[in-house]
C-alpha cells in the first residue's frame, strides 16, 4: 500500500465520502486494500490506495433529493484530520415550513449515512430544472431541489439552503423583500433556461 500508512488512511479517509478518480465514493473499509462503494452505481470495489486517486470533495455540497423531500447538506468547520466528508463535518437541514414526509427522521438518517445514489447525484450537480422540480414536488406533495442551493415544494415555496425565501407561481419566482440579492446566485445557474422564470418582488 503506497503513499500513506494504514493508520493514516483510516484516520483521514475511513467511513467518509471522497472522489475516487473523479467519481463520488464512500470508503467502506480500510485494510491491505480499500473497499469502496460507488454512490452512483451502488457497486462495491476493492482498490489499492493511491493519493492521486483519492481526493477531497472540494466542490460545494447542497440539496439531496431523496424520498419525496430535499435535505440541504453543508460543511461545518471542525478540527479533524478527515480528508473526506462524513456526518461529523457536515450539517443537514430540512426546508422550513415545507411539508415533510412522516418518516423525515429516517430520511435524514439515510442522507447522513451518505451511501445513497442521491448523495452522489448531488455531488455531481444532477438536478431537474425548476419546472420539472415543481411538477415532481406536486406529484407527491413534497419538496424537490432544482439546484445545489435552491428547492421548491408543492405549495410553490422557494427555499435557499433550507430557508423559505420566496414563491413560485405562474412559472415565475418572486423573492421576499429581504432576499432580492438571491437573483445574483441564480445567475450562476443556466441563465438562458431560467431568465424568464424570475422577477423581483413588487
Looking at the 3D structure of the chain, how many domains does it have?
A: 2
To the nearest whole percent, how much of the chain has pLDDT over 70? 90
Residues 28 and 47 in one domain: yes
Q: What residue numbers bound the domain in which 49 lies?
A: 6-55
Give the dihedral sign, CA 10/51/148/68: negative
Cβ(62)–Cβ(149) under 8 Å? yes
pLDDT tens sequence across 119-142: 999 999 999 999 999 999 999 999
18 located within any domain: yes
1 within a domain of the structure (yes/no): no
CB 90 within 8 A of CB 61: yes
Indicate whether 152 and 183 sit together in one domain.
Answer: yes
pLDDT digits 0-9 by tens, 152-168: 999 999 999 999 999 99
The pTM of the whole model exceeds 0.85: yes
Asked if 45 and 108 sit in the same domain, the reply is no
42 and 137 fall within a common domain: no
Query: Is 87 within a domain?
Result: yes
- Same domain? For 19 and 94 the reply is no
pLDDT higher than 50, residue 8: yes
Three-state DSSP state, 122: helix
Do 87 and 48 fall into the same domain?
no
Q: Are residues 22 and 80 in the same domain?
A: no
Alpha carbons 152 and 73: distance in angstroms, whole number = 16
* pLDDT in the model for residue 198: 43
Residues 129, 177: one domain?
yes
Burial of 162 (0-12, 13-18, 19+ CB in 10 A): buried
Q: What pLDDT score does 165 carry?
A: 96
Q: Are residues 115 and 168 in the same domain?
A: yes
Regarding whether 45 and 10 lie in a shared domain, the answer is yes
Sheet containing 34-38: which strands, arranged edge to edge?
Answer: 44-47, 34-38, 23-30, 17-20, 54-55
Is residue 73 assigned to a domain? Answer: yes
Q: Once rounded to an integer, what is the mean pLDDT over residues 55-77?
A: 92
Taking only the tens place, the pLDDT of each residue in 73-105 is 999 987 767 889 999 999 999 998 888 788 999
Scanning the structure block, which residue is given the C-alpha cell 493514516? 8
- CA–CA distance, 45 with 28 (Å, rounded to integer): 10
Amino acid at each position: 500500500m503506497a503513499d500513506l500508512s494504514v493508520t493514516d488512511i483510516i484516520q483521514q479517509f475511513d467511513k467518509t465520502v471522497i472522489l475516487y478518480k473523479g467519481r463520488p465514493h464512500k470508503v467502506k473499509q480500510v485494510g491491505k486494500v480499500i473497499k469502496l462503494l460507488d454512490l452512483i452505481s451502488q457497486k462495491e470495489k476493492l482498490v489499492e490506495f493511491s493519493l492521486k486517486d483519492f481526493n477531497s470533495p472540494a466542490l460545494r455540497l447542497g440539496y439531496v433529493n431523496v424520498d419525496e423531500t430535499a435535505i440541504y447538506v453543508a460543511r461545518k468547520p471542525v478540527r479533524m484530520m478527515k480528508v473526506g466528508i462524513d456526518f461529523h463535518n457536515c450539517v443537514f437541514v430540512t426546508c422550513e415550513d415545507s411539508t415533510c414526509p412522516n418518516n423525515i427522521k429516517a430520511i435524514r438518517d439515510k442522507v447522513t449515512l451518505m451511501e445513497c445514489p442521491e448523495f452522489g447525484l448531488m455531488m455531481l450537480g444532477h438536478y431537474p430544472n425548476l419546472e420539472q422540480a415543481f411538477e415532481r414536488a406536486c406529484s407527491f406533495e413534497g419538496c424537490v431541489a432544482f439546484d445545489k442551493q435552491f428547492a421548491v415544494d408543492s405549495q410553490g415555496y422557494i427555499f435557499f439552503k433550507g430557508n423559505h425565501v420566496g414563491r413560485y407561481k405562474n412559472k415565475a419566482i418572486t423573492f421576499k423583500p429581504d432576499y432580492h440579492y438571491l437573483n445574483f446566485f441564480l445567475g450562476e445557474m443556466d441563465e438562458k433556461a431560467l431568465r424568464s422564470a424570475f422577477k423581483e418582488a413588487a
